[in-house]
Amino acid sequence: MMPGMESGGGVNVEVRATGLRGMREKKGLTQRELDRNLGISQNYIPALESGARRPGPKLRQALMKFFNVNFEELFEVVMVNPESSKEQVLEAREERRAG
């Protein structure tokens, strides 16, 4: 077992597709059209948008490429305490400056 992950001390890290619906609607696509474009099951996009499913690494990459956006524009990383169900959203750090 890794240090800091002993029973009772661990957290689950989830990646949620919180920006997916907005991106899809902005492109004028239905959930079924997006499913077909990505070659995935027709029920998968609705499940991602509702939060019932979490996108795996390959699908995250495919979605970012399809919409031509950064990770932060489509996804949210959340730490969840499995015992209390408390959640903490991890914010992206702004390291680039305009100009």
**pLDDT average, residue stretch 78-99:** 76
> Which residue ranges make up each domain of the chain?
12-90
In terms of pLDDT, which residue wins out, 3 or 35?
35
Sheet holding 87-90, edge to edge: 12-16, 76-80, 87-90
pLDDT score of 7 = 40
| pLDDT, tens digit (0-9, with 9 covering 90-100), for 8-22 | 468 899 999 999 999
Examine the pLDDT at 3 and tell me if it is beyond 90.
no
pLDDT score of 94 = 59
The three-state (H, E, C) secondary structure of 40-91, written as one string: CCCCHHHHHHHCCCCCCHHHHHHHHHHHCCCHHHHCEEEEECCCCCCEEEEC
**pLDDT average, residue stretch 15-38:** 95
Q: What CATH number has the domain spanning 12-90?
A: 1.10.260.40
Q: Give which of 33, 28, 34, 74 is closest to 54, Cα–Cα.
A: 74
75 vs 17: CA distance, rounded Å: 5
Examine the pLDDT at 49 and tell me if it is beyond 70.
yes
Examine the pLDDT at 66 and tell me if it is beyond 90.
yes
